Amino acid sequence: MLMKKILITGGAGFIGSHLCEKLLNEGNEVICLDNFFTGSKDNIYNLMDNKKFELIRHDIIKPLLIEVDEIYNLACPASPIHYQHNAIKTIKTNVLGIINVLGLAKRLHVPILQASTSEVYGDPIVHPQREDYWGNVNPIGIRSCYDEGKRVAETLMMDYHRQNKVDIKIIRIFNTYGPRMAEDDGRVVSNFITQALRNQDITVYGEGNQTRSFCYVSDLVDGMVKMMNSDREIIGPINLGNNTETPIIEFARRIIDITCSKSKIIHLPLPQDDPVRRCPDLTLAKTKLGWDHKVKLDDGLKETIKYFENKLRNEKKI
Ligand code: NAD
Ligand code: UDP
């Protein structure tokens, strides 16, 4: 396979660090660009000695000039707590940031893959979600900085493609989990696992009947690379995720079982605009990319629990 010089924005984040690792293992040169808002050097520590790896501290809301063969745009905080922390900055990252990165792709004539999200479907009323569903998004709510930001980013991708013939790839990522998720990101996977490991109460928001479909990170990055390497006319959007839908209350019980925790489940108020059901239709990913998820939820959870257990033990938090 031809080796390339690949830019990964947001490469020091959870998913980005796994993508850096995979593309390096395939023999490519990787330039990881990050402003370290939610990412960390710990995530890429094991890559620092690799001569084919380069790290640049930069914020994508400022233009960037660099020579590469391919671009993966992942820069954007992903958990509700993080993206709501500075909502205006989240929108700037999604709008000004993608304009800068698309401008680079246009100038260099190289393909660009955008990490979009299931959040473009908002609180969906169609199940499972197919890519031709336009979604049900609150444009003025507390999640809009992210949902609408990512929707505009998709629009910009399409407009640069139609107007400037930029080679684009859009994937819509559904809830992804695995080692290197941030402990403090407030997401359900990191919260429940760290609570269970500390025998603290497990905080289920609402009754816990809302569902999510969890995809292990190695499956996701396989799909991302398959999408990037697909034929030029495959531009997406294409859903990537796992279509095993799990109610949050059941997810809490599963984590208690696997960790043999003494934790009890408590119920806290449901956050505003929290989607009721979420599950991807994966027909396009299967037929266009020949991709499917492989890792079972219990196996992925065991790996993730192992990661958090080591981390909390090393930091003397358990
Ligand atoms: P993350 O927060 O761990 O990673 C995001 C990275 O982007 C971090 O390293 C952060 O420092 C960096 N970043 C943020 N703003 C930036 C900016 N303005 N300039 C440069 N770098 C910036 O999140 P993640 O879970 O790894 O998500 C990666 C991408 O995938 C995001 O675009 C997210 O929207 C998308 N996504 C993730 C999920 C998921 O379940 N994890 C679901 C859907 C979509
Ligand atoms: N959730 C929960 N307890 C927590 C954190 C999250 O019950 O401690 C719920 C949350 O309300 C949502 C689901 O778990 O219904 C997934 O939340 P997360 O923040 O992980 O992702 P998103 O809502 O963006 O899918």
Average confidence (pLDDT) over 276-287? 98
Nearest ligand 1 atom to the CA of 61 is 18
Query: Which ligand is nearest to the Cα of residue 216, counting in written order?
Result: 1
pLDDT of residue 2: 77
Contacts of 157 (CB under 8 A, 6+ apart): 98, 102, 112, 114, 166, 168, 170
Contacts of 107 (CB under 8 A, 6+ apart): none
Name residue 75's amino acid: A
- Site to probe by mutation for ligand 2, drawn from 205, 276, 277 as the one with most ligand atoms within 8 Å of Cβ, is 205
Under DSSP, the state recorded for 201 is P
pLDDT of residue 285: 98
Nearest ligand 2 atom to the CA of 187 is 20
Ligand 1 contact via 38 beta carbon (within 6 Å)? yes
- Site to probe by mutation for ligand 1, drawn from 7, 9, 15 as the one with most ligand atoms within 8 Å of Cβ, is 15
Spatial distance between the Cα atoms of 69 and 170, rounded to a whole number of angstroms? 17
Average confidence (pLDDT) over 119-145? 97
**How remote is the CA of residue 251 from the centroid of ligand 1, in Å?**
24
Average pLDDT, the chain: 97
Structure tokens belonging to residue 308? 């958090």
Name residue 115's amino acid: A
Ligand 1 contact via 68 beta carbon (within 6 Å)? no
Ligand 2 atom 3, closest CA: 204
Q: 241: closest CA among 91, 115, 137?
A: 115
Establish whether 121 is a catalytic residue.
no
139-158 exposure pattern, b = at least 16 Cβ within 10 A, e = fewer: eeeebbbbbbbbbebbebbb
**How remote is the CA of residue 263 from the centroid of ligand 1, in Å?**
30
pLDDT in tens, 161-188: 999 999 999 999 999 999 999 998 999 9
Fold of 5-177+214-243+279-294: Rossmann fold (3.40.50)
User: Is the CB of residue 141 less than 8 Å from the CB of residue 273?
Assistant: yes
Neighbours of 297 (CB within 10 A): 19
HSE (CB half, 13 Å, CA atoms) of 239?
27
Please report which residue ranges of the chain form alpha helices under DSSP H: 14-25, 41-44, 80-85, 87-108, 144-164, 188-197, 217-228, 248-259, 283-289, 297-314
pLDDT of residue 250: 98
Ligand 1 atom 4, closest CA: 13
pTM metric for this prediction:
0.98
**How remote is the CA of residue 47 from the centroid of ligand 1, in Å?**
19
pLDDT of residue 50: 97
pLDDT at residue 27 greater than cutoff 80: yes
Pick the catalytic residue from 121, 146, 160, 177.
Answer: 146
pLDDT at residue 1 greater than cutoff 70: no
pLDDT of residue 219: 98
**How remote is the CA of residue 190 from the centroid of ligand 2, in Å?**
10
pLDDT in tens, 54-97: 999 999 999 999 999 999 999 999 999 999 999 999 999 999 99
Ligand 2 atom 25, closest CA: 175
What are the structural domain ranges in the chain? 5-177+214-243+279-294
Ligand 1 contact via 36 beta carbon (within 6 Å)? yes
Ligand 1 contact via 78 beta carbon (within 6 Å)? yes
Ligand 2 contact via 188 beta carbon (within 6 Å)? yes
Average confidence (pLDDT) over 206-211? 98
Ligand 2 atom 4, closest CA: 188
**How remote is the CA of residue 246 from the centroid of ligand 2, in Å?**
12
User: Is the CB of residue 75 less than 8 Å from the CB of residue 99?
Assistant: no
pLDDT of residue 290: 98
